Structure 1
């Protein structure tokens, strides 16, 4: 059906919604805001895009964010998610998947489902968020196309494509006993930020370190470029941490047929950076330290890079050794375990995020 043109009572710039702008008007506003990349041979405007594939292979991944499932427009602490936040996160989490395979990302396809009442300014902010994430994270990536649709809630689905430049992809299944476990990026910051967003503490009262943790949830910064560097350094297995360190390390352990032993003492150094939020929400002392460690080992969405390397070789710059790979004991499941300073298994505080689990 032809798009109905708005001819009466035009909305002001402040009141303009996607319904009053129409699909063509909305596209005309957001196309100029989206990033462009050198791999694009034919970008938005036709029925499909054309991108270069000099390697002869294309690495492809897809992720969806849905309102009130993956983000909130209005959080409990009073913060309102901007279009910029949601656009940034959509780009970041998809580019992280490319990084986890050792690929260099070059293209994004984005499908937006929007209620008719969505302000056009919010959608423009979304486009700017995608652009700013791509450029800030140092990627040569273009949005080459996508889709606009109408729905009851905002939903964003993005497909990322990347290039391996002749290398074999990094898989989850290559870890072997004797390897070390290492991460690039941060752990637990997004989880701490999520806890602040869901808390009763007004966001306007947060200090700079606490706001930085909140920003880590809304606008994560995965360590792009670490994946290709890990490939060059002989990485044996790799994945990004999206659902929690223990949960994702367990997935890698099962895929590789071994056990990953994670050092709680080393992970406590990541947890120390989360104390500004933990102390606010749990009080000072052991309770705050335990809460912070729980975020570090169970929180996802920092999109850190979890990797294993041969134990005889140094890990690349930017990676921190957090454990080791050992044979799975007879009668035990392939899994990841958190070991305390004494070497005894310490109980984990959370097993991470499950889209279909209990809230």
Structure 2
């Protein structure tokens, strides 16, 4: 990880910025990148989609569980997923880093590598940010996006009779978290899913093109996030459990640890799948698969009944 002489205290703020920015590629939407008072990002639509997310060590990641590169991937993915959940194309990332002075420089460089690699998946640049010394390691990312002439897909457009569909993995990260918290490191695929999500980036703009009426990034849990759509749209949503995939690895891990794997799928977050509602006659494409229906009333049910227990993550609960 580096020796005691190769820390942030030794290289200083501007030395760190130089090392980090040298590792970040520049894509077409970035008209002016790091190095000035602010960046310039193309906004051909004349509207900018923006979101921000914060990762705090001990709350969102642990350095003994995840590499710096993993953390970089997660920090970028959490924000890029929110942009595509609006039906937009990501155009840029801004990154604020609060770092302890005794942190090895290599850790910060590897974090930048993870951010850049995840951003490369959708062809966007890390266009700027800030660094500050802090006792608590915190990564704050802001993402920008372009609607490309389309209306944003919000949480408030679901209509009675719509189908509910998801794209991406559900419950994998929650399973990986449970495995790591019990002191294990396998199955490797589930642990890797917690360390580094696989976001279905193309599914967001595709859903918008297909006429999605509402959409959301599943970051806190399927039931919890569908609840946001139901509340904003003044409808009810019913999820059919038989439509939800429980992989063999998840079933085996759940049995070994005495956990219901369906709970991972219904309430686990941080896979950053996308959930959306569509008109009932739409022909879905890509990885979108139907899991339920929109109906009269309020709230979210599973197989017609209220779900017992927590429906997802709440930082203050």
How far residue 273 of structure 1 moved from its aligned partner, in angstroms, is 5.1
* Aligned 8 A contact 2:171 2:268 in 1: yes
* Aligned 8 A contact 1:102 1:169 in 2: yes
Among 152, 156, 170, the alignment partner of 1:169 is 152
Partner of 2:170: 187
Whether 2:33 is the aligned partner of 1:56: answer: no
Partner of 1:229: 206
Whether 2:84 is the aligned partner of 1:99: answer: yes
Among 248, 252, 268, the alignment partner of 2:225 is 248
Partner of 1:356: 316
* Aligned 8 A contact 1:175 1:258 in 2: yes
5+ residue gaps, structure 2, are none
**In 2: Cα distance, 1:69 partner to 1:312 partner:** 42
* Aligned 8 A contact 1:272 1:292 in 2: no
Give the count of matched residue pairs. 316
How far residue 349 of structure 1 moved from its aligned partner, in angstroms, is 4.5
Give CA-to-partner distance per residue, 1:84-112, whole Å, 9 cap, x none.
11111001111000110000001000000
Whether 2:117 is the aligned partner of 1:132: answer: yes
How far residue 272 of structure 1 moved from its aligned partner, in angstroms, is 4.9
SS at match of 1:33: coil
How far residue 317 of structure 1 moved from its aligned partner, in angstroms, is 2.2
**In 2: Cα distance, 1:57 partner to 1:85 partner:** 31
Aligned pairs for 1:1-359 within 5 A: 15-74=5-64, 79=65, 81-135=66-120, 138-201=121-184, 203=185, 206=186, 210-267=187-244, 269-270=245-246, 272=248, 274-282=250-258, 288=259, 291-328=260-297, 334-339=298-303, 344-345=304-305, 347-357=307-317
5+ residue gaps, structure 1, are 1-11, 283-287, 329-333
**In 1: Cα distance, 2:27 partner to 2:252 partner:** 39
TM-score when scaled to structure 1? 0.85
How far residue 21 of structure 1 moved from its aligned partner, in angstroms, is 1.0
**In 1: Cα distance, 2:55 partner to 2:80 partner:** 14
Give CA-to-partner distance per residue, 1:273-315, whole Å, 9 cap, x none.
5224213322xxxxx5xx2100000000101110000112222
How far residue 345 of structure 1 moved from its aligned partner, in angstroms, is 1.6
Q: Which has the larger radius of gyration?
A: 1
* Aligned 8 A contact 1:41 1:52 in 2: yes
How far residue 200 of structure 1 moved from its aligned partner, in angstroms, is 2.7
**In 1: Cα distance, 2:209 partner to 2:288 partner:** 14
* Aligned 8 A contact 1:35 1:130 in 2: no
